[in-house]
Amino acid sequence: MTSLLKRLAGGTGSRSVKAELRGDVLFALVIGVVGLIAILPGRDGAGTAMADMQLVGSIFAVIIAAIGLNLLTGYAKLVSLGQGAFYAIGAYGFAYLFLDGGFPALLAILVALILSGIIGALLALGSMRLRGPQFSMITLVLAIVVERILEQLETFGRASGYPNPLSHGTGLLEPIELFGTRLEPPLLAGTPGNVLVALLIVLVIVLVLYRNLVRSSWGRSLRAIGESEHLAAHLGVNVFSRKVVVFTVASVLGGLGGIFYVQIFAHLQPETFDIFLSITIVLSVILGGGGTVLGPVIGAALITWLQRSDVLTSVADAQQDLFGTDRWYLSTPGLLGLLFVITLFLLPNGIVGTANNALRRWAGADDESDADAALADLEVAQLPPREERREPGAELLRIDGASKRFGGLQAVGEMELAVREASIHAVIGPNGAGKSTLANLLTGVYQPDEGSFRLDGVELAQLKAHAIARSGVARTFQTPQVFPHETTLENVKAGFVDVAQLPLWKAALKPPSQYRREREIHDRAIELLDRVGLAEDASTLAGSLSYGKQRALEIARAMAMDPRLIVLDEPAAGLNPTECDGLAALLLQLREDGMAMILVEHHMDLVGQVADEVTCMDQGRLLAHGSAEEVLADPAVVAAYLGVPDPDDVAEMEVAR
Amino acid sequence: MGRTPLRAFTAFAAVCALSVAGCGGSDDDNAGSGGSGASSNGELSATVGVIGPKTGPAPQFYETNTVGAQLAAADAEKQYGVKIKLVNADDQGTPEGASRAVQEQLNGGNVDALLASPQSGQALQTADVLQRSRIPWFINAQSPQIINYKIKPNWAFRTAYNSSELSDVLGPFVFSGNAKVGLVHSADGFGQSEAEALQATAKKQGKTLAAVEPLQPGASDYTAAVRRLKQAGVTRVYMSITSGSDTATVTKAMVQEDFEPDFKITNATILADFGELARPAQWKNLVFIDPRDLVDGAAKSLNADFKAKTGKEPPLPTNVYTSYMAINAYAQAVKAAGSTDKAAVRDALEKLPSIDVRGDKIANPFTADSHDAYHAATPKDWFIFGFDDKGEITKRGTVAEEIESGS
Amino acid sequence: MDFVIAGLIMGGLYALIAQGFVLTFLTTRTLNFALGEFLVLGAVIGMGVGSWGWLPDAGKVAFVILTVGILGAIVYRFLVLPFTTEGPHDARWLLSTVGLSFVILNLLTNSQGATPKALGYGGFGEFSTVLGVRVTTQALVIAILAIAITALLVLMTTRTPLGLLMRAVSEDADTAALMGVSPRRIGMLAYAIAMGIAALAGVLWASQVGVSVHMGLPLLVAAFACGVIGGLTSLWGPLLGGAIYGVLTHWASFELGGVWGETAGLLLVVVVLIFRPEGLLGRRLEAKL
């Protein structure tokens, strides 16, 4: 039992493909059974169950919209206040196409979903430079404008609702018919609301696909974007297009939620789709736990139930009795707001996120040997080396005439540099010499003004960061950039090319090959952790690792990309001597394995220990180049180090402005 | 991460179970409250559900409907010997909440009749379900579409005038002579339905509206639209506005823009908040029409009783009146039918000689063809009111008289 | 031309409220999404003290500003600050203030009722004429106040030691903290001033349109729009944003009809966000590597 729980909690125990499959089937079964229990009371159409069946249907609808929002808000950390707008677009879109358009039901659903997706994609294209309150604003605008259109557009019946007796002779949409069965809504006593069965089936399918998606490398890319877009780009993720895609997927799910809504209530009023609907969906995600698989599911169920049932009404009455006033008390909307604020305080990761953490802590403290045993059983899957890799000593990277100005400052000027296969090329220089700028130019943080950066003959100079990463250049950062709330193992998994390149459909459908690939990634990640000495820490949260270990973790993650070249930006900064020795040993070992590296470093001991070649920069220019001994003995280099600092840091601050 | 904790599953299951259990419980409560028909001592009793937005953004609709119903129930027991038990339900001011409230009342509340949501959005969401549920239900919202006459037999009974009736009375009045008529209407169900009705009336009379200006409820400024009215050369303005505070905003903009039409006309929604917020210049040339005698009729005593009960003036006096009408009509029908049998009560309602609001009589309110209580009203039955210098309502006579005097 | 004057005057109200967004965003990188409810709170408290005959009207307004300002500081300390600890992408403060707005709105609806009531003081007369255009004196006073308060805030931040501290915190809170400035206190101060301004706007506007729990949301949306258009990182932003938004909405209301004014303004917000996310006068904020 313990081990099962630990597995579910995300322990490091490597899961066989079979166990993984079992887990996935179990998930679908449990969701299906819970849903079935929920809709069971309505099976014979008993009047007393009608209100509850509507509630269950609403919950299903909000769950769908909430899991969509979770991709955006929970994982990619873009707080959208516009999910309700897509809910409305889906609902009205379907109803209009079905009734006025005369489309067959399934086609109407499909077109309504595509419509939601297109509007989502358009908004996404416009808003992808935005974060924080500005992003929330643009989505809020969408929600308000859509509500306004529903209120004003004659086509949709305006405030008379859709359909309405004047235009359609009825206030209720006809149930859709599938395979000869009318899918009745739970509206009239005596008529079982069998549409709930269909909705449940769709819900289970969507939940399974969604769960596959967020647990795949595709899902990892969303977490990476949520943590830092810069970092995600250096992991090879095309941040812009991925954000557009995830917004589109979220919009389609929002639309599907709306389509669910029509099936249950059969009539649409614009008042339903006000800004509070959007806020309710956000509440559901955050309360349940953004960035967790089940968070929005639990959250949506809980919020919808609290909103509609009488529980909060009795709380309101109790307050009035307690305080002896019929004025100063909170009723349902206020209590939900209060619950929300309290959740943020007490359960910062939401209900599911907090439960997850508690479970992980409990499982981790349980016993250590289990994890080690898992490692011991490991059959290491050796990934084939990159085919392009050529023999040691051949020139891999050549930088020629690289220049970059920030305003009036020449941060880098006419730099040149070459890196050979299976070698370490150190770049040294006094503070502000332009070393980090050079590394940033190479990895695509900045575009060079001039110069060429050729990796094995391929020009990188005008490529974006993610494209450079995909060409085989990985990097680490001056201050380690890890995902602090993820385990060490997950951090390494975020480095694999799959994060950038796994197609959406494959991530969601999870064909057998994907099971095998996940297993490969898992094994390979463990191997990499072992390589950098972090095997013991596989299930530790990266944020709680020491500085030195975070560095090692970054290197392991960079290795996961199977790069041709790794750019290490001051990896020794902040390390103690022992850690520094460990780092030297690791770098040497990587070189043994055939890895080429650029080492931007201050730490001369380390440089002396590992560098095959050294280039010294000063004031953005090449000062000296040669072996470590030669360069360090060069009088010009010594003078530069004793000289005045240079404007590099200032320049970077300028940019930050 | 990514792995799904079993506990979460359990929690989800628990929530679902709770939801079912919790709601089931509330149903039981309601079920216990029913019990209608002829009681042991031969006295008739009935249960009526009253739905309103108790926790919505406009709780005044709930308050006026429930209090109006209570006043009527108390009177009805004395007048007709019919004991009416009222069960209040909260529609939360949302269509979804209304749907739930209606289902609970229909299926768990054991009610014999319903007074549906007084706000059009909520009423429209639930109207067809109520019609098909074969239970007498009353409505005091004005959107004509709430009653779907295509569903037969018709179970809905409206105790307010609907927008078309208002326009029928208004039409001969505002379109008389060569007046250029402008319309200001709230951009909500109420305002939109009146706008449509007035446009239909105009068409019938071969007239056109010189300007139609919607108003976003709660708008902070309306001067731009007033300038449009002015530019269109409007000489008479009809304002179909949901709340008196918005009417204050509109009339203030008219004063600000120096726009003085021959007269501004509106309806009794102006009684909500307008007097509180407006200044005398704003009610110059302003009149409103209503089928009820708000000065000498029963409205005064209802308002007084409302104040005695709640400690304040009714925020929507006409809703107190129309909800009173609903319960009065129902009590009479139960008495006539001799039971709470739904079909019998429905038939009795169609044959009701009059609704009696403390002496105000609305004759032959419902027929087999029309379930709108004011369907038979003509300009001579409607009154026209204005305000004196102190902002008190004054009665100027009937609309028919006003038309004759050729104002 | 009329719509320009009228639009500018209405823009003044939005600008004054938007200042409540900008001031806090500048210093703390957070916004109070419950700003609309603070506005209402100001009006409601204003009505509550309306019966204090011993206090002159100006004193009542000052009392309201002070009370709501203190509430603002408390809100920052306990509902915003704790939700900013996870770095620049931490947007939990947005959610906590939305939650707060639910609580305040509901509490006020339950206690005050949803129908508007007259404030009864704080009015500056009926109408005034500006360049031949008649405007309400109240709106004119508010617009003038918006300019005056903006100028005062700019002077304060550029000319006083306190302003220097605020700017230091806004540039780099961590470094400022190392230098002995308490970002927390500066943040509380910024929230106090910002919510005080919101309360002032609430009282003055309520004196014209009445005290209503529903007056917050439309003003919040308009003010937020002005802040975004002008730029949330510039104290002059709200005035520019308010002017543009006010004139545009007025023009659209006049040309297209009443309900499309706000929509036109919001579409402008979308355009600004797409092409200049930092707003017309705002500075670009980029994450450092």
Tell me which of A7, A37, A269 to substitute to probe the interface with B (most B C-beta atoms closer than 10 Å).
A269
First vs last C-alpha separation in chain C: 50
Q: Measured between alpha carbons, how far is B353 from B355 in angstroms, rounded to an integer?
A: 7
Which stretch of DSSP H or E encloses residue A398?
strand A395-406
Query: Which residues constitute the domain of residue C211?
Result: 2-275
Tokens of B12: 């989800």
Chain A residues in contact with C288 by the CB 8 A cut-off are: 652, 656
Q: Which residues lie closer than 8 Å to C87 by C-beta, 6 or more apart?
A: none
One-letter amino acid of A613: E
Q: What is the mean pLDDT of residues C149-177?
A: 86
Tokens of A625: 């180049």
C158 and chain B in contact, CB less than 8 A: no
User: B163 near B134, Cβ under 8 Å?
Assistant: no
Of A141, A228, A348, the CB nearest to C270: A141
Q: Measured between alpha carbons, how far is A169 from B150 in angstroms, rounded to an integer?
A: 7
One-letter amino acid of A530: D
Q: Measured between alpha carbons, how far is A172 from B355 in angstroms, rounded to an integer?
A: 32
The pLDDT of residue B12 is above 80? no
Q: What is the pLDDT of residue B42?
A: 62
B391 and chain C in contact, CB less than 8 A: no
- What letter would DSSP give residue A73? I
The rounded mean pLDDT for chain B is 87
Asked if residue C101 belongs to a domain, the reply is yes
Mark yes or no for CB contact B224/C250 under 8 Å.
yes
Residues of chain A whose pLDDT is less than 70?
1-15, 364-390, 643-657
Q: What is the mean pLDDT of residues B108-135?
A: 92
Residue count of chain C: 289
Q: What is the number of structural domains in chain C?
A: 1
User: A235 near A65, Cβ under 8 Å?
Assistant: no
Residue A371, phi then psi, degrees to nearest 5:
-65, -40
CATH number at residue C75: 1.10.3470
Q: In order of start, what are the domains of chain A with their CATH numbers?
A: 21-237+248-309 (no CATH), 393-482+564-656 (3.40.50.300)
Chain C residues in contact with B218 by the CB 8 A cut-off are: 212, 214-215, 217-218
B189 and chain A in contact, CB less than 8 A: yes
Q: What is the mean pLDDT of residues B165-178?
A: 88
Chain A residues in contact with B215 by the CB 8 A cut-off are: none
- pLDDT bucket at B359, cuts 50 / 70 / 90: very high
- What letter would DSSP give residue A169? S
Q: Measured between alpha carbons, how far is C168 from C176 in angstroms, rounded to an integer?
A: 6
Tokens of C120: 């009864």
Q: What's the complex ipTM?
A: 0.91
- pLDDT bucket at B332, cuts 50 / 70 / 90: very high
Q: Measured between alpha carbons, how far is C236 from C18 in angstroms, rounded to an integer?
A: 10
Q: Measured between alpha carbons, how far is C65 from B364 in angstroms, rounded to an integer?
A: 58
Q: Which residue of A has its CA nearest to C283?
A: A657
- CA dihedral (B194, B200, B203, B204) positive or negative: negative
Chain B residues in contact with C118 by the CB 8 A cut-off are: 276-277
Q: What is the pLDDT of residue A154?
A: 87
Q: What is the mean pLDDT of residues B228-246?
A: 92
Residue A290, classed as helix, strand or coil, is: coil
Asked if residue C215 belongs to a domain, the reply is yes
User: A306 near A312, Cβ under 8 Å?
Assistant: yes
The reported pTM is 0.90
A157 or B33: which leads in pLDDT:
A157
- pLDDT bucket at B353, cuts 50 / 70 / 90: very high
Asked if residue C112 belongs to a domain, the reply is yes
- CA dihedral (A26, A32, A38, A43) positive or negative: negative
Give A352-355's long-range contacts (Cβ < 8 A, gap of 24+): A352/A288, A352/A289, A352/A292, A352/A293, A352/A294, A352/A295, A352/A298, A352/B5, A352/B8, A352/B11, A353/A289, A353/A290, A353/A291, A353/A292, A353/A295, A354/A289, A355/A289, A355/B5, A355/B7, A355/B8, A355/B11
Among A61, A7, A82, A66, CA closest to A295: A66
Q: Measured between alpha carbons, how far is A279 from A469 in angstroms, rounded to an integer?
A: 38
Asked if residue C281 belongs to a domain, the reply is no
Among A550, A549, A556, CA closest to A528: A556
Q: Measured between alpha carbons, how far is C72 from B380 in angstroms, rounded to an integer?
A: 58
User: B238 near B184, Cβ under 8 Å?
Assistant: yes
Chain A residues in contact with B190 by the CB 8 A cut-off are: 159
Q: What angle do CA B241, C224, C145 make, to 5 degrees?
A: 85
Least Cα separation, residue B319 to chain C (angstroms): 15
Asked if residue C143 belongs to a domain, the reply is yes
Asked if residue C286 belongs to a domain, the reply is no
Residue B17, phi then psi, degrees to nearest 5:
-60, -45
C218 and chain B in contact, CB less than 8 A: yes
Q: What is the pLDDT of residue A486?
A: 87
Asked if residue C285 belongs to a domain, the reply is no
Q: Measured between alpha carbons, how far is B345 from B347 in angstroms, rounded to an integer?
A: 5
A250 or B405: which leads in pLDDT:
A250
Q: What is the pLDDT of residue A5?
A: 44
